Chains A and B, each alone.
Chain A
Amino acid sequence: MTSLSLPIYSKKTKIKGFHGTLSENVDSILKNNFYESEKEIWFGKGVYFFIDGISSESLDYWAKHHTFDNCKDKHKPKTSFEISVLTAEISVNEDLLLDFTNDKLKKMFNGFRRDAIAAAEESGKYIKSQLTDSKLLAAFKNLMEFEFVKSNVYIRLGILRRAEIGSKIDNVTIFVVNNPSKHIQKPSIKEVFKGEIS
């Protein structure tokens, strides 16, 4: 498809993000920058950060414990992991930011979701039950050339996980970056925590 002719001048802001990972990945990240997850999670592929927003917990808390929970689920029966928390300065072009904390942009995506379902149905060959949030979002991001997503989400960690509390009330703000080498300068990446978590 043809380019949408993004504006020449775009407002840029800097955001500090916290990212948790296994300590064994740190050298590679410091040397090569972050790599995008390919998994179909939350907001599709990208590098996921916790950023300042609605959380009452510290951001390194989220980075540590979210990484630990992921590892615990993935590498059973292992129960302890050496985890690092990295911070990075993200240079954000606001014209490329799909900000779900902005009601107008959320409304825009809801319009796209409706139009996408209609387009799929009109094609006459659509197989139902495939339009997951992450696929719709990835299609929307590609069409609109977004490279960042910001959203408040609910994550069940720590005491919430122990108490098995499900909720529709968001508790943390996340930020997803595509093409990290374009938007994150390697010297800005710092390891702020390293330790064994069990």
Chain B
Amino acid sequence: MSYESIKNRYDKLFARPDIGDLIVEALQNQGVEFAETKQPYFVSTDCQLSFMDEYKINALDIYEENEELCIITQAA
């Protein structure tokens, strides 16, 4: 049956340790874009300082990823 043959191909392909990279490459070949660097999150210095003060943190880096604000912090 052809399904068995296709399933064997699928299982063989998805057993490869580099399958994640292969998928990403296949998506890139279709024009899916992957940002080279993290998207900078633009906030004013005043706003950053106020945020850091409010939450008692020292922010080492602030960036946006998948529409969420990511903050790399160090305990104050």
Contact = CB atoms under 8 A, between A and B. Distances in A.
B75 interface: no
A11 B24 CA distance: 32
Interface residues on A, range: 35 or more
Given A125-B35, A125-B36, A144-B13, A139 B23 contact: yes
Secondary structure type dominating chain B contacts? helix
Contacts of B60: none
A156 B55 CA distance: 55
Contacts, number: 88
Interface in A136-160: 136, 138-140, 142-145
Interface string A103-123: 011001000000110011111
Contacts of A142: 26, 29
Centre residue among B20, B25, B26 by max chain A CB count within 10 A:
B26
B9 interface: yes
Given A108-B7, A123-B34, A127-B33, A143 B13 contact: yes
A127 B35 contact: yes
Interface in B1-40: 2-3, 5-7, 9-10, 12-14, 19-20, 22-27, 29-38
Interface residues on B, range: 20 to 34
A120 B2 contact: no
Contacts of B14: 115
A167 B2 CA distance: 32
Interface of A: 1, 4, 6-7, 10-11, 94-95, 97, 102, 104-105, 108, 115-116, 119-128, 130-131, 135-136, 138-140, 142-145
